[in-house]
Amino acid sequence: MVVREILPGISSVGVIDWHRLAFDDLMELPDGTSYNAYVVQGSEKTALIDTVEAGFDEEYVTNLIRAKLDSVDYIIANHAEQDHSGALPLLLELYPMATVVTTEKGKDLLCSMLLIDDERILVAEDRDSLDLGDKTLVFYSMPWVHWPETMVTWVPEDRILFSCDLFGAHLACSSLFADGSSRLQEAAKRYYAVIMQPFRSKIQEYVEQVESLNPAVIAPSHGPVYNNPSAILSLYREWSSDEGKNLVVIPFVSMHHSTKWMVERLTDALIQRGIDVRPYDLGTSSTGTIAMDLIDATTIVIGSPTVHFGPHPKAANIAFLTNILKPKARYAAVIGSFGWGGKTVQTLGEMMPKLEAEMLEPVYIKGKPGEQELVAITVLADEIYKRHQDNHLV
Ligand code: FEO
């Protein structure tokens, strides 16, 4: 690992996890990740911003040694989750005079999850500041990006914002600064989709607040540093907006092809009506990729056969995920087939109470879909088209 200067007195001292495959066992990491941490050296005092995942302590401490810190006065914990606080217990041993700075809720979480001595913690209220000499740290409380305790740290003299998970990307890469590549944009979108999407209204508010600071640099806790933040701010405005795109997402599972045939008919019918459509076979599709499309979709159609009187577990899983991600979709429907009965449509609908979407008439048929049932799919396509038209999307 290396120490890399961002601005005079401000360096990146975090670590890159090139080989991590999943986060929270929920989100695939096709490109690894990084646990970013920073040092801010003022003329009088020194602060560390966040730490790293436990298990990467040695690399992190090596970086701190290379940074030639005489002392550490403050360790800023913008976020208590262990990928940023994991090395905190070791740091407190290495720097016995250092004080941890976090929010009131952050203090509670650090004490309970990492057994940190509460006497080592200073609570920062919204807009409190610390004087490092020729640099100042200003703390902005920003709960729910994506835990209740989160805050960000602003250095007004350098106009750099340490934004914790906000604007992050699970992307292991050798460049310190964002390069504007489509690879980075996809990593940032995948990250937003799974981590930030449920807190969309908060994100809208915080993007405005960050824009009002007019930052020159945004340094998140995962992925590259943005030294031209306008692009990521613009993407966050788009992703968190209330407006969906002319897109229908169809996650489906099929056991004996009936549901698959219905999905294929619906896909063709939507294409014919000028609507973008993405069918995802849940047997092979990536959760993160589906979550990315949920950011944009105006309509979600779940396809599932009936298994033991209810939805296929893979369809139930995507309904559960949709419910917790709370995408902006305005319309939803269920299609599929059954052998002898069950409550698949009702169960899937009940699994998504947080989805503020109009439920369209389901198409649920017995056995193999014949031409009459496939006509019902065409009617569903017409209903979706009508609603997309009402929203000026097509
Ligand atoms: Fe990167 Fe919420 O931790």
Query: What DSSP line would sit under 28-73, residue for residue?
Result: E-TT-EEE--EEEE-SS-EEEE----TT-HHHHHHHHHHTT-S---
Sketch out the chain's domains with CATH numbers: 4-240 (3.60.15.10), 248-384 (3.40.50.360)
Q: DSSP letters along 179-213, please?
A: ---HHHHHHHHHHIIIIIGGGHHHHHHHHHHHHHH
Report the distance separating Cα 8 and Cα 41, nearest Å.
9
Atom of ligand 1 nearest to the CA of 147: 2
pLDDT band at 24 (very low <50, low <70, confident <90, very high): confident
pLDDT band at 28 (very low <50, low <70, confident <90, very high): confident
Pick the closest to residue 252 from 213, 300, 185 (CA basis): 300
Mean pLDDT of 382-391: 98
Other Cβ atoms within 10 Å of 207 Cβ, number: 21
CA distances to 185, 257, 290 from 282, rounded to whole Å, are: 24, 13, 9
Orientation of helix 287-296 relative to helix 313-325, angle to 10°:
50
pLDDT of res. 27:
78
Do 138 and 159 contact (CB within 8 A), yes or no?
no
What distance in angstroms lies between residue 93's CA and the mean position of ligand 1's atoms?
A: 23
Pick the closest to residue 198 from 295, 326, 352, 23 (CA basis): 326
Whether omega before 84 lies within 30 degrees of 0, making that bond cis, reads no
Atom of ligand 1 nearest to the CA of 221: 1
Tokens 């913690």 belong to which residue? Answer: 121
Report the distance separating Cα 7 and Cα 309, nearest Å.
61
Atom of ligand 1 nearest to the CA of 165: 1
pLDDT digits (tens, 9 = 90+) for 63-79: 999 999 879 999 999 99
pLDDT band at 371 (very low <50, low <70, confident <90, very high): confident
What distance in angstroms lies between residue 10's CA and the mean position of ligand 1's atoms?
A: 22
What distance in angstroms lies between residue 379's CA and the mean position of ligand 1's atoms?
A: 44
pLDDT digits (tens, 9 = 90+) for 113-138: 999 999 999 999 999 999 999 999 99
* 81 CB within 6 A, ligand 1: yes
* 17 CB within 6 A, ligand 1: no
pLDDT digits (tens, 9 = 90+) for 30-43: 899 999 999 999 99
Angle at 139 between CA 137 and CA 140, to 5 degrees: 145
What distance in angstroms lies between residue 374's CA and the mean position of ligand 1's atoms?
A: 45
Residues listed for the chain: 394
In the beta sheet, which residues pair with residue 123?
Answer: 102
* 83 CB within 6 A, ligand 1: yes
* 170 CB within 6 A, ligand 1: no
What distance in angstroms lies between residue 86's CA and the mean position of ligand 1's atoms?
A: 11
pLDDT of res. 97:
95
pLDDT band at 373 (very low <50, low <70, confident <90, very high): confident
* 149 CB within 6 A, ligand 1: no
What distance in angstroms lies between residue 302's CA and the mean position of ligand 1's atoms?
A: 30
Q: Alpha helices of 227-367 — where are they, by DSSP H?
A: 230-240, 258-272, 287-296, 313-325, 344-350
What distance in angstroms lies between residue 253's CA and the mean position of ligand 1's atoms?
A: 31
Mean pLDDT of 51-73: 93
Q: What is the CA radius of gyration of the chain?
A: 24
pLDDT of res. 44:
97
Residue type, 247: L
pLDDT band at 1 (very low <50, low <70, confident <90, very high): low
Q: Whose CA is nearest to atom 2 of ligand 1?
A: 81
Element (H, E) at 13: none
In the beta sheet, which residues pair with residue 281?
Answer: 252
What distance in angstroms lies between residue 83's CA and the mean position of ligand 1's atoms?
A: 6
Biggest alpha carbon distance in the chain? 78
- Mean pLDDT score across all residues of the chain: 95
Mean pLDDT of 145-165: 97
Model pTM? 0.95
Atom of ligand 1 nearest to the CA of 35: 1
Percent of the chain with pLDDT over 90: 91
Angle at 339 between CA 334 and CA 342, to 5 degrees: 60
Q: Is residue 26's pLDDT more than 80? A: no
pLDDT digits (tens, 9 = 90+) for 160-209: 999 999 999 999 999 999 998 999 999 999 999 999 999 999 999 999 99
Show the tokens assigned to 273: 């009506």
Angle at 48 between CA 47 and CA 49, to 5 degrees: 115
Show the tokens assigned to 73: 């006065």
* 222 CB within 6 A, ligand 1: yes
Q: Is residue 349's pLDDT more than 80? A: yes
Residues sharing a CB contact under 8 Å with residue 364, sequence separation 6 or more, in sequence order: 334, 335, 336, 337, 338, 344, 345
Show the tokens assigned to 349: 């609908």
